[in-house]
A and B are shown apart, each in its own frame.
Chain A
Amino acid sequence: MSQSTDKAAVPERAGSSDVAVELADVTFGYDPARHVLEGISMTIPRGKVVAIMGGSGCGKTTIFRLIGGQLRPQSGRVLVGGQSVPDLDRDALFALRRKFGVLFQFGALFTDITVFENVAFTMREHTDLPEQLIRDLVLMKLHSVGLRGAAQLMPAELSGGMARRVALARAIALDPMLVLYDEPFAGLDPISLGVIGQLIRKLNDALGITSVVVTHDVYESLKIVDYMYFVSAGKIVWQGTPAEVQASGDAFVRQFVDGEADGPVPFHYSAPSYRDEMFAHA
């Protein structure tokens, strides 16, 4: 595995109280005979914004689901806040998830309730806060993403970027210790993309949370994250800080950053010889 040579920049090792999430030698496959992830190890320190990057189908969303306890690894450890996620029973897992914020790929807002009620959702479900306080908190969260004025709109009335910002306000509603972002930049126009990126960074620093961003958007990630893991074919093929990524001569990183069609990730899907196939009937 190619890797950044600057060891000082690599996140601290597991076992430290400063570690928010740790995956150690994790192997997983939806089909036991075919592994999606193969011996993945990564450490995500508290208070940092860390990106997990890779092309479509490389296994990065599977990592997201393992951290959230939606999937259990076939082997290896997944620790969040020092707790082994696969070993938690349902009640303990739900207790842990109350400390999470999650932003799904297209927001996943509840379409039958207003923007206000979407942000208030976890407050109503998990707390007994008085209505006035919920109102104030919701308006504060919406104000932080610039959408206080959209509180009474329905999700169907929002643009894609606005929906993502509301989902972000909902994710931070209960001041979580960890926020997971699944493709937060997918399908956004350049302005919305920049807004979401800046919000992820600013909210992370202002609230002192830890952010894990699963994405394939390398340019936006370079601007906002502290550390990056590159995943390909179920393995971590490179890791480093944004500065190291830009300076890297690694073939995979260069193909990914420069958006080249061919390289370590081949353009062609595995197939028999072109010549043999074309002249098979000659």
Chain B
Amino acid sequence: MPSAVQSGVAHSLRRLGRFATFHVERLGYAARFFVAVIGNTPAAFRRLHLTLREIYFSGVLSLIIILISGLFVGMVLALQGFDVLQRYGADQSLGVLVALSLVRELGPVVAGLLFASRAGSAITAEIGLMKATEQLAAMEMMAVDPLARVVAPRFWGGVVSMPLLAALFSTLGVFGAYIVGVRLIGIDAGAFWGNMQSAVDFRQDIVNGIIKSAVFGVAVSLIAVFEGYDAKPTAEGVSSATTRTVVLSSLAILALDFVLTVFMFRGVS
């Protein structure tokens, strides 16, 4: 029946339109929020102790999970890598394989995912609960801008912490690979470190890895503070916002990683 079909199509189009409008509007709001956070950066840095405190909460308190994960990822990489490399008689390149994998990809990406789960969710929950308990409203009524006092320090705390955590993740990963590859399997230590040193390029590999982790830090921190600030001031609202932070951050890290990899390692053999 044409009228029923038309009605169904119109309904679907309306839903699509609402969905698109909602997300475009939200994206625009997030962009304005990002500009406002950047604009409040000088005010936040005048209260430097707040940013340092957030570096402690986001960075130092994430150390345990980052270090242990890095160690195990490196150990597993060494086991799997050795299994494949020895088939081609290239087991002496284990250090190179592990180091490049960690510095270029796994360090920034896995550390970013862990950071989103551990620190990003905590930031969202904290800001969301501050909103639900009227602490942000109270601050505004006391003529103190929550963007400068609450949001910007948490944002910069995350941005500063993330590259450091990724670097530590990679370092512990290499150490884990050393334990498995050299100490347990018996690869020559000189070959392990020497091949690694000659193959890993500072500008091409390490700096690009740091850039990646810094970009992930900005993305995760922005998503975390935005979702907290924009959360519905209810228990369910804060719960949903926390979940969204982890999901969106993870997707953003993976998507950004692909884009950055395309630009950074184009043409690299």
Contacts and interface: CB of A to CB of B under 8 A. Distances in A.
Most buried by B among A97, A111, A125, A180: A125
Most buried by A among B133, B142, B144: B142
A106 B143 CA distance: 19
A282 to B, nearest CB: 35
Contact of A108 (B134, B143, B144, B145): B134
A104 B142 contact: no
Contacts of B138: 102, 104, 108, 110
Nearest to A121: B142
B135 interface: yes
A114 to B, nearest CB: 14
Nearest to A167: B138
Interface in A15-39: none
B25 interface: no
Contacts of B149: 125
A111 B137 CA distance: 14
B83 interface: no
Contact of B135 (A98, A110, A125): A110
Contacts of A122: 142-144
B135 A108 contact: yes
B133 A111 contact: yes
Classify chain A: how many residues form its interface, as a range: 20 to 34
B143 A70 contact: no
Interface string A68-112: 101000000000000000000000001101101010111011110
Nearest to A124: B47
Interface in B123-168: 130, 133-135, 137-145, 149
A126 interface: yes
Interface string A38-76: 000000000000000000000000000000101000000
B135 A100 contact: no
Contacts, number: 49
Given A104-B134, A105-B134, A111-B135, A126 B143 contact: yes
Contacts of B137: 70, 104, 108
Contacts of B142: 97-98, 100, 102, 121-122, 125
A85 to B, nearest CB: 12
Interface string B54-77: 000000000000000000000000
A109 B143 CA distance: 15
Contacts of A70: 137, 140-141
A54 B133 CA distance: 23
Contact of A97 (B130, B134, B135, B143): B143
A97 B140 CA distance: 9
A207 B143 CA distance: 21
B233 to A, nearest CB: 12
A21 B142 CA distance: 18
A106 B137 CA distance: 12
A102 B141 contact: yes
Interface string B28-54: 000000000000000000000000000
Contacts of A105: 134
B42 to A, nearest CB: 15
A12 to B, nearest CB: 26
B36 to A, nearest CB: 11
A109 B142 CA distance: 12
A125 B145 CA distance: 10
By Cβ-Cβ distance, the 3 closest A-B pairs, closest first, are: A108-B138, A97-B143, A108-B134
Given A108-B135, A126-B143, 7 more contacts: A94-B143, A100-B141, A108-B134, A108-B137, A108-B138, A111-B135, A121-B144
6 contacts: A68-B141, A70-B140, A70-B141, A97-B143, A108-B133, A110-B139
